[in-house]
A and B are shown apart, each in its own frame.
Chain A
């Protein structure tokens, strides 16, 4: 890396970034109208399959993705799923909802021109974290609903941070090439905070916001410390499962977060043992 990230933050690029962060002036993506409607419908007391099918039909890209995911190995259909109502019936409202969020977030947020491979890797990591988060919750005999979204969205602030860096970079007219290491440093520094801000804007529950924002700093998550730790552990497990980190099964099992969550050996080994099925399920979301 030719430019040191700290030095960068002290220069013009940093000033632009600071100006945006301090004034809360972030260019935050919005969820598409159809996703918002689907979320409202699924969360409503009278959720109706036909109604949901109609909403899906109106968003062609979403509809296509739902069909694609329903036919993937993760949901192992006995026969090909050809219609949206069939998909809704097979997958259930909450899964459709999760798919809708995933598809929308992927398209709206995980899209920074010039960083396709970085973001594609981030997205894969997000999906694996989502499925691992469910399993971590199950292991702890906590309700697994909601855990998926925490895992899936825990890195949602990173592309926002990256986009801000790209914009600040071009505003400051820096000659140097914006390399991956700087991009990485930026995402690590601001990803958590921006994630919390973004989910706040999207009206996600406070505990989901906190779990995302503080997944790697659970002590700051106040009453949502446990959810933050569960999300953080899911993220580590995902990195390990994808071979993105130097972690080994042993070093993972010795992490403080595992002890803090009081996951004992046998349970932790079970979490490691389901790696392949988690990867397979998550593939559906790519």
Chain B
């Protein structure tokens, strides 16, 4: 079989692979992009970020309206509601995004093959299509961007009928009356709150004390309060002993505490595993960690110097934006082009209801690193916009250095958190003084005013010689 030659072969067309391919083409290289699917965008567009956020947007709208106009929703919104009808615009959103990405690939002259790629030599990749046709390509440089898939625990029989994962939950045909969520990471909490907001009786079960342990504890307090106010239950420190479908109406979950939970459906979100098992990486000399991810350095270069890896295939943070940036950096480094310094701040956005976002370091980390920290908070209920929106649980927390002048971190829960966080991100990156927030004029009424309120509190808490009230 003759092999076609490319300067860059990218395996996987999700955010990481897509950006790397474009960057390679922009550098004038001949690029091949291989993906299992014809549609561009990877899991992110087809089973991950985009579909879940589309469902969330509808849930958020309904939930927001139900809080502002409770009379409209007296009888609740469950009971026969089709999840698909809640995602009515999903196809349009997904197609628009995929078309845009596909157009970018064509415009940059990137060749695309559909099929499952595996290494057949150090520089050679064999691609077998779903039509069983096989082709081979040789690449000067190769990028692995094969993403991840849900991890299915051995003790839970995921059948995609009663017990679902993050792929099959998106094709549920009606809203269940109750849902047990296993896990309390990002995907678990996002879906738990989406379904709770839609009126489903949701119980989260996890072995940990608190959900989303990497977030600021005050945000998690607000999150839990809000989840419980939607009728949700969080059961921490529990181990699942057995899960079975009772053959009648319920998934029965037995816990180590002796408790038994019965729910119409179960959603299992216990992390994800990198899709690298089928790649035949041994042939290429690529090292894989004991967690099953490709081992790379800061430039995403693997143990085989001509092979790079990016995105979920290399493990955390496993976020779309981070994956894109990794893909871009990998392509630049692969062709000896200047690689910009790694962005100093990586914002985290969690699309729970209410949403949460964070950038920089937490209060705890600031104290550990600087000996102390000055903190300012703004509760959304104190803001006109918070009252108007009915968002009275949200809050914004700024963490400054011991002198109360330098912003080190920001943590927000509530409406608009994932957008608002970028204001703090810019301030941290530009190393602006906290006073900028005090001296700036914010639109009224906005949640962004919270920055000013929190900053004033920091200024007031400054050591006396530095104090200046705005």
Contacts and interface: CB of A to CB of B under 8 A. Distances in A.
A138 B160 contact: yes
Contacts of B131: 254, 256, 258-259
Q: Which has the most chain B C-beta neighbours within 10 Å: A49, A93, A207, A259?
A: A259
Contacts of B161: 134, 138, 143-145
A91 B247 CA distance: 6
A264 B165 contact: no
Could you say which of B91, B130, B132 has the most chain A C-beta atoms within 10 Å of its C-beta?
B130
Contacts of A253: 132
A264 B130 contact: yes
Interface residues of A, number: 34
Contact of A45 (B79, B129, B167): B79
A89 B247 contact: yes
A265 B80 contact: no
Contact of B249 (A92, A223, A254, A259): A92
B132 A262 contact: no
Nearest to B47: A141
A143 B172 CA distance: 6
Interface string B79-101: 11010100000010000000000
Contacts of B164: 143
Contact of B159 (A44, A88, A90, A144): A144
A224 B318 CA distance: 31
Interface string A79-101: 00000000011111100000000
Contacts of A44: 79-80
Interface string A120-143: 000000000000001001100111
A138 B38 CA distance: 20
Contacts of B3: none
A47 interface: yes
Given A92-B249, A265-B128, A143 B168 contact: yes
B130 A144 contact: no
B248 A92 contact: yes
A112 interface: no
B116 A264 contact: yes
Interface in B160-204: 160-161, 164-165, 167-169, 171-174, 177
B36 interface: yes
B310 to A, nearest CB: 23
Nearest to A268: B130
Interface string B120-150: 0000000011111000000000000000000
B37 interface: yes
Nearest to B165: A141
Task: Provide the main secondary structure of the chain B interface.
Answer: loop
A88 B80 CA distance: 21
B78 interface: yes
Interface in A220-270: 223, 253-254, 256, 258-265
Residue from the set A49, A205, A264 with the largest chain B CB neighbour count within 10 Å: A264
A142 B171 contact: yes
A261 B116 CA distance: 14
A32 interface: no
A189 interface: no
B130 A49 contact: no
Interface in B193-251: 245-249
Contacts of A145: 161, 172-173
Given A144-B161, A253-B132, A265-B128, A88 B248 contact: yes
B80 A143 contact: no
A155 B393 CA distance: 54
Nearest to A225: B91
B248 A258 contact: no
Given A45-B79, A141-B167, A263 B130 contact: yes
Contacts of A205: 82, 173
A53 interface: no
Contact of A262 (B80, B128, B130): B130
A45 B177 contact: yes
A144 B245 CA distance: 15
A259 B129 contact: yes
A43 interface: yes
A14 interface: no
Contacts of B174: 43
Contacts of A254: 131-132
A143 B171 contact: yes
Given A138-B159, A264-B130, A47 B80 contact: no
A146 interface: yes
Contacts of B245: 92
B177 A259 contact: no
A145 B159 CA distance: 10
B273 to A, nearest CB: 14
Q: Which of B37, B171, B177, B245 has the most CB of A within 10 A?
A: B171
17 contacts: A43-B80, A43-B174, A45-B78, A45-B80, A49-B248, A88-B248, A93-B248, A93-B249, A137-B160, A141-B168, A142-B168, A143-B168, A143-B169, A207-B84, A264-B36, A264-B128, A265-B132
Given A92-B245, A264-B130, 20 more contacts: A44-B79, A90-B247, A91-B247, A93-B248, A93-B249, A134-B161, A137-B160, A138-B161, A141-B168, A143-B161, A143-B164, A143-B171, A143-B172, A223-B91, A253-B132, A258-B131, A260-B130, A262-B38, A264-B36, A264-B116
Interface of B: 36-38, 78-80, 82, 84, 91, 114, 116, 128-132, 159-161, 164-165, 167-169, 171-174, 177, 245-249
